[in-house]
């Protein structure tokens, strides 16, 4: 049952009354006091709605629901309160900590009406989340697939770091991970304006001249400015600025920037020929740049990954979902697709089409799509 409601009160008989009257309508869960409520959210959450009494020992309802908002932002919060607490209840609603407050005594009809409204609010919040992940992220994935054929060097890199960022956010169980994935996926968009020879130097860890660095930074600023024009992606645009030669301290210190920098720096080191383990050791020399939790998560990923199932296939044997273990080049040396890219149906169709006029060097080295947890080819 999706309609999971957590009732919080310091009186067991009141909780029992909620269970008796509402168990046929909702999936009811009970918590005797704020401490038990927070423990249940941590172990058995998320709940669609939390209904809390205001006056409880140790922590009042506003304080509890503020903590619920912090750990479970999509949970909709309702507070039950007496008339004497009206002012503090109104303040809680106005500050966004509480969706509704109900005065006691409260009829079951009024309570169910408020819970139904809260469930609808929860549905809308999750619909918005799905829109961001499925619609926006899906549309951007299509754009990046197209651009991967225009500039395979830059967009192969974006796909590699996106997969690494996804694995890190999953390992750390970070909420709202879509913005971090989008930042990784879009981080190289501006590189279409940067000459390829500069990208080759930058990606291989070579130092850039002041003029070359200026050109690279201009591409990053262009990317950020374009992304910020998309509603609700302002934070993603800010994260991307961490790639600048001298990013602001406000940008560089954020979790999103540290995630992106870790993925980019790891990719730089592996492109330069270092193994995953050697790259990790280099990154661990700068813990202040990424933070100990991110480095520990990367170490865990590398320890558990299985990236050794590399196959050599002819072009006709490629399938969507396979990961390129090496660059794909034409017979004349032209880079067609960059290593680390996940092959999609679109990319495969375009590659087959291009091979009619520009023969592809075979065999092609790929990683099986069932190699789970692989963060680098």
**pLDDT at residue 134, rounded to an integer:** 64
Class at the top of the CATH hierarchy for domain 305-377: alpha beta
Class at the top of the CATH hierarchy for domain 151-304: mainly alpha
**pLDDT at residue 55, rounded to an integer:** 87
283-298 pLDDT tens trace: 999 998 898 999 999 9
**What contacts 172, CB < 8 A, 6 or more positions away?**
293, 294, 297
E strands along 267-309, which residues? none
What are the backbone angles phi and psi of residue 125, rounded to the nearest 5°? Answer: -65, -40
Residue 113 has pLDDT above 70, yes or no: yes
4-125 belongs to CATH 3.40.50.2300: yes
Q: What proportion of the chain, given as a percentage, has pLDDT over 70? A: 85
In this structure, the strands spanning 4-9 and 27-32 are: parallel
Residue 308 has pLDDT above 60, yes or no: no
**pLDDT at residue 249, rounded to an integer:** 61
235-265 pLDDT tens trace: 899 999 988 887 766 666 789 999 999 999 9
Instruction: Give the distance, in angstroms, between the CA of residue 246 and the centroid of all CA atoms in the same chain.
Output: 25
Highest mean pLDDT among 131-145, 237-251, 362-376: 237-251
Residue 217 has pLDDT above 80, yes or no: yes
Higher pLDDT, 218 or 159: 218
Average pLDDT of 225-240? 86
Average pLDDT of 88-116? 80
**pLDDT at residue 260, rounded to an integer:** 93
Establish whether the linkage from the previous residue to 188 is cis, with ω within 30° of 0.
no
For the record, the structure tokens of 267 come out as 């990719």
Residue 141 has pLDDT above 80, yes or no: no
Residue 17 has pLDDT above 90, yes or no: yes
3-state secondary structure of 6: strand
Helix H segments across 95-209?
A: 108-130, 137-150, 152-172, 178-186, 196-203
| Angstrom distance (rounded) from CA 198 to CA 194 | 7
3-state secondary structure of 258: helix
Higher pLDDT, 173 or 373: 173
**pLDDT at residue 106, rounded to an integer:** 86
The residue extents of the domains of the chain are: 4-125, 151-304, 305-377
Confidence category of residue 182, pLDDT binned at 50, 70, 90: confident
């Amino acid at each position: 049952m999706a309609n999971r409601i957590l009732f919080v009160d310091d009186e067991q008989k009141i909780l029992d009354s909620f269970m008796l009257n509402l168990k046929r309508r909702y999936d009811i869960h009970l918590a005797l006091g704020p401490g038990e409520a927070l423990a249940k959210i941590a172990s058995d959450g998320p709940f669609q709605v939390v209904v809390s009494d205001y006056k409880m020992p140790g922590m009042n309802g506003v304080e509890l629901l503020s903590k619920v908002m912090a750990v479970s932002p999509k949970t909709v919060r309702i507070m039950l309160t007496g008339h004497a607490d009206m002012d503090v209840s109104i303040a809680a609603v106005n500050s966004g900590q509480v969706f509704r407050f109900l005065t006691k005594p409260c009829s079951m009809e009024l309570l169910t009406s408020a819970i139904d409204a809260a469930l609808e609010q929860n549905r809308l919040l999750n619909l918005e989340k799905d829109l961001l992940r499925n619609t926006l992220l899906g549309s951007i994935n299509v754009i990046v697939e197209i651009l991967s054929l225009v500039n395979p060097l830059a967009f192969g890199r974006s796909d590699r770091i996106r997969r690494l960022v996804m694995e890190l956010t999953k390992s750390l169980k970070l909420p709202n991970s879509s913005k971090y994935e989008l930042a990784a996926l879009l981080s190289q968009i501006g590189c279409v304006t940067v000459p390829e020879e500069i990208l080759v130097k930058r990606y291989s860890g070579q130092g850039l001249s002041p003029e070359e660095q200026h050109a690279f930074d201009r591409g990053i600023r262009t990317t950020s400015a374009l992304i910020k024009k998309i509603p609700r992606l302002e934070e993603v645009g800010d994260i991307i600025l961490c790639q600048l030669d001298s990013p602001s301290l406000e940008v560089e210190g954020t979790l999103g920037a540290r995630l992106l920098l870790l993925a980019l720096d790891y990719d730089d080191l592996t492109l330069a020929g270092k193994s995953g383990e050697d790259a990790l050791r280099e990154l661990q020399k700068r813990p202040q740049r990424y933070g100990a939790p991110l480095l520990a998560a990367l170490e865990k990923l590398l320890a558990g990954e299985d990236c050794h199932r590399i196959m050599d296939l002819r072009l006709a044997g490629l399938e969507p979902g396979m990961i390129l273990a090496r660059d794909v080049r034409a017979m004349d040396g032209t880079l067609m697709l960059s290593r680390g890219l996940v092959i999609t149906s679109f990319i495969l169709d375009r590659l087959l089409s291009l091979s009619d006029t520009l023969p592809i060097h075979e065999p092609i080295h790929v990683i099986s799509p069932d190699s789970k947890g692989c963060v680098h080819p």
